Structure 1
Amino acid sequence: MTLLLVLGAALVILALVLVSASLGTTAGGQAMTGVDRSVALVQALTNSPKELTKEYDEPFADRVMKPLQEKASKLARRLSGGDAPERIRKRLDVAGNPPGWTVERVQAGKTIGAIALFLVAGLLSTAMGMSFTIKILFVVCATLVGWFAPNLYLYQKVYERSLIMQRDLPDAIDLMTISVESGLAFDAAVQQVARNTEGPLADEFSRVLREMQIGQGRAAALRALAERTEVEDVKSFVTSMVQADSFGIPIANVLRIQSSEMRTKRRQRAEEKAQKVPVKMTVPLIFCILPSLFIVVLGPAAIHIMDSFKGI
């Protein structure tokens, strides 16, 4: 019994010695706990020069995401060709330059999207136990989707923006006509449209005014407007305005004719869409409505006939 007590006391002393050794001692011989070391580390970082802590003060986007974006953009530039940045820049102009979208970000998004979907498709195909051929096709299709996803987004933005500009152009020309006939110059009429309307067309007219204010000619600013859009009505309007400015034709007469033509075209487009409705309804009518109608109408008769045959 005494031997066990002595052995227990020795083990306790040994444990205390090990704990003291693991915590360590300061230069003055006093023990430093884990909290003290953390406080000392924070004080050392706080009192250190700015050059040493500059790397830790930068946000995560600048330290990690920006270098990753630059590398992905370089890789996309090599895979896309030398004229890819110019094509993307033109597409961004036509799409209205969405906030946060630049040429470098689009190229980086193409690379990152392709790599991400490649890895996800590989993991999913492996987890689902696909055959080798189907796995290759699935991974290739997913990679292509990731690569072309930014382009598809830009094309969708261009399409939506073009529809809005095409819809708002007749009203904008009417406002210009009223402004010019009331005595304002063409530039002031454009300013009225940019100030009193909203949407992509107003933004484009505001850009035309800014370009003219910095010294660009009216014809050059209007031609730049035509290059930044894919709406044929806007291009026709710009061509008419440039020719009227070149030959000295009264702007009010040209605007009145353009307004009448734009409204006629808009009515014709509405009639064309109305004529297409019966054709578009044929497919859901045949494959969705008629089968359900046949089931409701002929179903009870079919059940009655089957019961009659069973009775026989």
Structure 2
Amino acid sequence: MLYFTFFLTISFTIYGFYLLRAEKASHLKKRMSAFVGGIKEEAATQDEKTFNAPLYDRIGKPLLNDFKRSFKKRMPGEKEAKIETKLQLAGSPFGMTPVDFRLLQISLALVFPILAGVYGAILNAGYAGVFMFFLVGLAAGSVLPHYYLSMKKKARNKSALKELPDILDLLTVSLEAGLGFDSAVSKVVSKKDGVLSAEFHRSLEELRLGRTRREALTGIKNRIEVEEVRAFISSILQAEKLGIGMVQVLRVQSNEVRDRRRQRAEEEAMKAPVKMLFPLVLFIFPTIFIVLLGPALIQFLQTFSK
């Protein structure tokens, strides 16, 4: 009886171990099936998304990216750096890269002359006229991209100059409240919108990525061509280097910026009479003379005609 009990115990133990192993294998098989099925389903979903995507996303965009990479390899480094500087000063409109800008310039230089030549042919301008239209279109297509960047740069600099006094005041108040410089800049970025706020936000992101404060602030100087902004950044860097209090430096900068703004307003006011002279002579005075002397001249002519 004892042997029989021992045999049953051993048998049930082995059978239980076998069942446990089989259950683990079944569970592992189910998990693998679910994982493989998920991968297949995800791949099928991805293929379906790719198939249902627009033709440009499936074919045109990859071809365009390959063409851009090939074009970038053939683009001179100095030319690329020069265009990159212009784009940064203009605020990188539409997120354009130097390659995008160069391709846009070439495209306009090809399309505008053709359109202008066709327009000249429609007007029956003759061979010389069509050629003149072609040259005008070529000049416009070559100049317009650079002109657009120049206008964007001027608007950006004007906006930065207008925002500077408020930025200085907010920084001063934040520093006086006990915040550190980076925290004060973060507070200003959260409260203000505009060119300078965007630039300071970019500098904070660069600091988080490991760049030094000097490098991040120097980047702002390189991206904004405004004397007051560059003087402000230089004073901050100098104060940090020499250990001078930031609040005192910001107060001095704020007073200087407001003085320069007042001086510019006075200069514009002094230029106003000169600017008004030509419209007065060309448009206002002739109208006044016609209104005042017209009736007398008509009466004079009628009298002498009799």
TM-score (norm 1): 0.75
Q: Deviations over 1:194-236 (max 9, x none)?
A: 1111101100011111111222111111111101111111110
CA deviations 1:133-155 (Å, max 9, x no partner) are: 44323211211211222222121
Give, in whole Å, the separation in 1 of the partners of 2:64 and 2:120: 28
In structure 2, the partner of 1:142 is 137
Instruction: State the alpha-carbon separation in 2 of the partners of residues 247 and 241 from structure 1.
Output: 10
Question: SS of the residue aligned with 2:93?
Answer: coil
Matched, 1:255 2:257: no
Tell me how far 1:103 sits from its aligned partner.
2.5
Contact 1:72 1:107 in 2 (8 A): no
- Distance, in Å, in 1 between the alignment partners of 2:49 and 2:172 is 59
Residue 173 of structure 2: aligned partner: 178
Mean CA deviation greater in 183-192 or 126-135: 126-135
Query: Does the CA-based 8 Å contact 1:162-1:230 persist in structure 2?
Result: yes
Q: 1:289, 1:146 → 2: CA distance?
A: 38
Q: For the residues of structure 2 that align with 1:138 and 1:68, how far apart are their CA atoms? A: 33
Which residue, 108, 112, 116 being the options, matches 2:111? 116
Distance 1:178 1:291 in 2: 56
Letter of the 1:103 partner, please give it: P
Question: Quick check: 57-66 or 197-206, which moved more?
Answer: 57-66
User: Comparing 159-168 with 67-76, which one deviates more in the overlay?
Assistant: 67-76
In the other structure, the counterpart of 1:129 is 124
Q: CA 1:71 to 1:124, structure 2 compared with 1: closer, same or farther past 3 Å?
A: farther
- Partners of 1:77 and 1:84 within 8 A in 2: no
After superposition, residues 1-312 of structure 1 pair within 5 angstroms as 57=52, 59-62=54-57, 66=61, 82-311=77-306
C-alpha contact 2:72 2:99 (8 A) present in aligned 1: no
- Cα 1:277–1:65 change in 2 (3 A) is farther
Q: How has the CA–CA distance of structure 1 residues 93 and 168 changed in structure 2, closer, same or farther, with 3 Å as cutoff?
A: same
Structure with higher helix content? 2
What does the per-residue CA deviation read over 1:98-147, in whole Å, with 9 as the maximum and x for residues that have no partner? 23433332222212212221111111111222244443232112112112
Which letter maps to 1:138?
F
Q: Separation in 2 of the partners of 1:116 and 1:208?
A: 39
TM-aligned CA deviation for residue 254 of structure 1: 0.6
CA contact (8 A) 1:73 1:107 kept: no
**Cα distance 1:300–1:110, how it changes in 2: closer, same or farther (>3 A)?**
same
Q: CA RMSD in A?
A: 2.9
C-alpha separation between the residues in 1 aligned to 2:281 and 2:65? 53
Normalised TM-score (structure 2):
0.77
DSSP-derived class of the 2:232 partner: helix
Q: Secondary structure at the match of 1:83?
A: helix
Q: Which runs of 5+ in 2 are unaligned?
A: 1-43
> How far, CA to CA, are the matches of 1:153 and 1:261 in structure 2?
32
Residue segments in structure 1 that go unaligned for 5+ positions in a row: 1-48
Change (3 A) 1:267 1:75: farther
Letter in 2 for 1:107: R
